């Protein structure tokens, strides 16, 4: 029996034959995530318990096999791609909501629970989980932990790290431990915060305790059309500058909003150059006052149209257009490369102008979708990988956009992580000393370098 067969038998002994894949035709769906990057794993395994995960980690150590944790594969930085092969540990079977504690407003869930399912369950008690990535119908809480995911409503509520109290983790040596505390902040080193956003390089998240919030008494959702993306960007800056912090300010340029409208019939005006989707929450009287203030501010930027959702169905339709826009862009091109740079809000208009110039330089269409309130750009570069040279052009354009973001005081990622796609751009933002210190920290957790290798750090 060769090493591969021996290892396969030992994996089966841990989780059972039905939850181990070793044939390429079975593993092809695990070779990529939401990006263009690909890498074929050696094995894919779907454990059901934390103890099984720990046994798999010890086994991979024994055979010096890379270990890649995976959720639903919706990541957008190549973070779950097994670029060096290895053992993909898919956590989708660990999908139990263990407890909703109404008194402490917390939920204890396994890592494979879908983000939206937490809010769906919590809503029975008048509660919800705030971080809401656009892929929340599919992405898992474990993946959200790995990338420190954001979402439209994180303008007001914060990102994943602001809503996680404790994490059960399987460390690279197979030890099972908890970071954080179920009910309070913990003094000393914040290992919980350190682990969140580590992109699967420090260990594997298996359970999570998250904070839940009371559902707002009332919500107002506004769809505002402008004649240009610059007007929409400047209106966003002006709203925040006036001291108004809505729950969300989302932006779509004409390319994105036209595609979204064609797919959803949400009522986006055809003559708009860009739209803002603004949502405010709270008590009815406060919402009315805040809505009036927003209207006063945006009128300086000549809005083409203002629509206010009349009911929950219309609100859901507005959000369906925004959150489904990436799929809608498939009407324009078969492939896209989504960039995730973040800039100061005051630089939005200038940076978007530079993105337009770069798109013309590369002769590619860029659809701009933004968490505008956060200054988090998502330029979506549309291309056809069957056209020779288009993929390379798209990647180079994405790199140039990231350079523009950094040059304007921004960073490489707002929520998608560094992963495989952005690793070679890290020196734009960090010095050699910075990167070495990060590597030292990573090596403390993972001295053998088996956990998600080939990610975050540039290849020398």
> Which pLDDT tens digit goes with each residue over 272-302?
999 999 999 999 888 999 999 999 999 999 9
List the one residue out of 50, 45, 35 whose CA is nearest residue 68.
45
Please determine, for residue 4, whether its predicted confidence score (pLDDT) is greater than 90.
no
Q: Do the beta carbons of residue 143 and residue 71 sit within 8 Å? A: yes
> Residue 214's Cα: distance from chain center in Å?
23
- Percentage, residues of the chain above pLDDT 70: 98
> Could you tell me the pTM of the whole model?
0.95
pLDDT at position 184? 66
Task: Return residue ranges of the chain for CATH 3.30.70.2190.
Answer: 218-327
Average pLDDT score over residue span 239-245: 94
Task: Return residue ranges of the chain for CATH 3.30.465.10.
Answer: 97-214
Rounded to whole angstroms, the Cα distance separating 127 from 460 reads 48
Q: What kind and span of H or E run contains 292?
A: helix 284-298
For 8, residues 6+ apart whose C-beta sits below 8 A from its C-beta are: 20, 22, 43
Rounded to whole angstroms, the Cα distance separating 224 from 285 reads 21
Task: Return residue ranges of the chain for CATH 3.30.70.2740.
Answer: 333-407
Q: Do the beta carbons of residue 70 and residue 138 sit within 8 Å? A: no
Average pLDDT score over residue span 319-343: 95
Rounded to whole angstroms, the Cα distance separating 309 from 311 reads 6
Rounded to whole angstroms, the Cα distance separating 319 from 137 reads 13
Position of tokens 């949502």? 279
Rounded to whole angstroms, the Cα distance separating 380 from 336 reads 6
Average pLDDT score over residue span 398-405: 98
Average pLDDT score over residue span 381-404: 96
Q: Do the beta carbons of residue 93 and residue 71 sit within 8 Å? A: no
pLDDT digits (tens, 9 = 90+) for 184-231: 666 788 999 999 999 999 999 999 999 999 999 999 999 999 999 999
pLDDT higher for 161 or 36? 161
Q: What mean pLDDT is reported for the chain?
A: 95
Q: Do the beta carbons of residue 322 and residue 250 sit within 8 Å? A: yes
User: Beta 87-90 vs 43-45: how paired, if at all?
Assistant: parallel
Task: Return residue ranges of the chain for CATH 3.30.43.10.
Answer: 3-90
Rounded to whole angstroms, the Cα distance separating 316 from 310 reads 11
Domain at 97-214: CATH architecture: 2-Layer Sandwich (3.30)
CATH number of 333-407: 3.30.70.2740, 3.20.20.390, 3.40.50.300, 3.40.50.170? 3.30.70.2740
For 18, residues 6+ apart whose C-beta sits below 8 A from its C-beta are: none
pLDDT at position 197? 97
Count of CA atoms in the C-beta half-sphere (13 A) of 38 = 6
Rounded to whole angstroms, the Cα distance separating 442 from 197 reads 12
By residue count, the chain amounts to 460
User: Which 3 state secondary structure label does DSSP give 17?
Assistant: helix
Domain 3-90 - what CATH class? alpha beta
Q: What are the counts of helices (DSSP H) followed by strands (DSSP E) for the chain?
A: 15, 18
- Percentage, residues of the chain above pLDDT 90: 94
Rounded to whole angstroms, the Cα distance separating 211 from 215 reads 13
* Domain 218-327, classified CATH 3.30.70.2190, yes or no: yes
Q: Predicted confidence band at 1 (pLDDT cuts at 50, 70, 90)?
A: very low
């Amino acid at each position: 029996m060769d090493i591969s067969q021996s290892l396969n038998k030992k994996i089966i002994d841990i989780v059972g034959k039905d939850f181990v894949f070793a044939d390429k035709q079975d593993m092809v769906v695990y070779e990529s995530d939401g990006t263009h990057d690909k890498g074929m794993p050696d094995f894919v395994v779907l454990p059901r318990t934390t103890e099984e995960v720990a046994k798999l980690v010890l086994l991979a150590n024994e055979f010096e096999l890379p270990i890649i944790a995976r959720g639903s594969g919706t990541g957008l930085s190549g973070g779950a791609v097994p670029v060096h092969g290895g053992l993909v540990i898919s956590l989708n079977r660990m999908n139990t909501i263990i407890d909703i504690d109404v008194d402490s407003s917390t939920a204890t869930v396994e890592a494979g629970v879908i983000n939206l399912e937490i809010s769906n369950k919590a809503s029975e008690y008048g509660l919800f989980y705030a971080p809401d990535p656009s892929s929340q119908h599919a992405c898992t809480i474990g993946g959200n932990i790995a990338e420190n995911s954001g979402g439209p409503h994180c303008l007001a509520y914060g990102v994943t790290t602001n809503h996680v109290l404790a994490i059960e983790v399987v460390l690279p040596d197979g030890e099972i431990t908890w970071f954080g505390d179920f009910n309070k902040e913990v003094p000393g080193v914040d290992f919980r915060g350190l682990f969140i956003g580590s992109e699967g390089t420090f260990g594997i998240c298996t359970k999570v305790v998250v904070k839940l919030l009371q559902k707002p008494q009332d919500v107002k959702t506004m769809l505002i059309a402008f004649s240009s993306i610059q007007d929409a960007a400047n209106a966003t800056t002006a709203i925040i500058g006036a001291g108004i912090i809505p729950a969300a300010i989302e932006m779509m340029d004409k390319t994105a909003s036209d595609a979204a409208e064609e797919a959803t019939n949400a009522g986006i005006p055809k003559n708009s150059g860009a739209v803002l989707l603004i949502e405010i929450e709270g008590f009815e009287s406060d919402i009315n006052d805040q809505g009036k203030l927003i209207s006063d501010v945006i009128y300086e930027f000549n809005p083409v149209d203002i629509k206010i959702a009349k009911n929950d169905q219309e609100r859901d339709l507005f959000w369906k257009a925004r959150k489904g826009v990436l799929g809608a862009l498939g009407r324009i091109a078969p492939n896209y490369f989504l960039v995730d740079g973040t800039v100061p809000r005051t630089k939005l208009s200038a940076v978007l102008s530079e993105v337009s110039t770069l798109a013309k330089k590369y002769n590619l269409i860029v659809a701009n979708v933004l968490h505008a309130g956060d200054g988090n750009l998502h330029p979506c570069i549309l291309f056809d990988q069957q056209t020779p040279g288009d993929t390379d052009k798209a990647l180079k354009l994405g790199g140039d956009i990231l350079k523009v973001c950094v040059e304007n005081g921004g960073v490489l990622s707002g929520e998608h992580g560094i992963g495989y796609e952005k690793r070679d751009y890290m020196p734009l933002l960090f010095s050699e000393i910075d990167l070495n210190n990060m590597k030292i920290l990573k090596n403390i957790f993972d001295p053998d370098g088996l956990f998600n290798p080939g990610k975050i750090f540039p290849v020398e």
